[in-house]
A and B are shown apart, each in its own frame.
Chain A
Amino acid sequence: MNIGTIQAYAYFFFVAFLVIVLYSYIYHLYSSQRKGKRDYEKYSNIALNDDITDQPVEDISKND
């Protein structure tokens, strides 16, 4: 097995790994939103309600 073959295998598995990570992350994002574990979409309101008097979406003093 020469270095080129090893690189090719390493490349293949690295790409496969990244694809799995990507898709499982997408799955994780959408399933936790659907099950109500976490609401990602509420953060969009940071831009919409951005007057200095508006209530922050998540206050800095609160721990998560």
Chain B
Amino acid sequence: MHMPVIKSVIRLNDLDIHFVDEVIKTGSEVFGEDVPKTIMACMQCGRCSGSCPSGRRTAFRTRTIFREVMIGFREKVLSSDELWYCTTCYTCQERCPRGVKTTEIIRILRNIAAKEGYMAKSHKMAAGYVFKTGHAVAINEEIQNVREELGLSRLPPTTHSHPEALAKLQDILRRTHFDELVGFDWETMELKEV
């Protein structure tokens, strides 16, 4: 008689069976309950993974992530690199036969992951530009010259030309505690740990 090979053991104590409720609650704050609650309708058919441009070339499997959320693999889902391979193209959400708002749920999971400290340094740096300039992609000398050559103002009429508007934007980032999430230091106007 062959003994089955035990590849991994899942201990119930390691699972967070309330994780799916946490996802629904977090998502409800912006989308309302109807959007995140659709995860309960997932029947694991895999059309999401089959439609995924990132899944074609990485280990990102939308279906797997949703199953793990339902089972309660909180830590595994939130710490995974795969969670960040979604380009938010919405193909899976459009095609889901059960109406699961897949892409929105991925964004909600990422919000929780960011809060748990899993925001990549490169993402913090991109966010840092918004703190400093109001733009995720800021102007540089070369493009200022191009703008001038094309007959446009050297600086666009955005926060780049309006410090008072930038101050208001920065005020919003303080009020939503985005500075704490990203680790932005207002004194040095840089990220705390780069």
User: A and B from one assembly?
Assistant: no
Q: B-side interface residues toward A, CB under 8 Å?
A: none
Q: A-side interface residues toward B, CB under 8 Å?
A: none
